[in-house]
Amino acid sequence: MALSEKKKGEWSVLSAMAIGAFFPIVTVLSYAAVPSLISLGWSTLVAALFFGAVITYRKRWKELAQPLLWKYVALVTLFISILYYGLYYIGLTYTLPGNAAIIALFEVFTSFLFFNVFRHERISFDYKVGALLMVIGALIVLGKDFSRINIGDLLILAATASAPIGNFFQQKARNIASSETILFLRGMLAVPAIFLFAYIFGQHALMFNVKEAALFLVINGVIILGISKVLWIEAIHRISVTKAMALQSFGPLLTLFLAWHLLHQAPNVWQLASLIPLILGTLLLTDHLRFSRR
Q: What is the pLDDT of residues 186-223, one digit of tens each?
A: 999 999 999 999 999 999 999 999 999 999 999 999 99
DSSP 81: I
Q: Is residue 122 scored above 70 in pLDDT?
A: no
128, pLDDT greater than 80: no
**Burial group, residue 217, by CB count within 10 angstroms (0-12, 13-18, 19+):** buried
Nearest-angstrom CA–CA distance, 287 and 34: 42
Mean pLDDT of 36-50: 95
- Given a cut of 70, whether residue 118 has pLDDT beyond it is no
Single-letter code of the amino acid located at 80 = I
| C-alpha closest to that of 156 among 82, 101, 217 | 101
**pLDDT over 90 percentage in the chain:** 46
Look at residue 292 in the predicted model and tell me its pLDDT. 63
Would the pTM count as exceeding 0.95? no
Domain boundaries of the chain, sorted by first residue: 5-285
pLDDT score for 269: 83
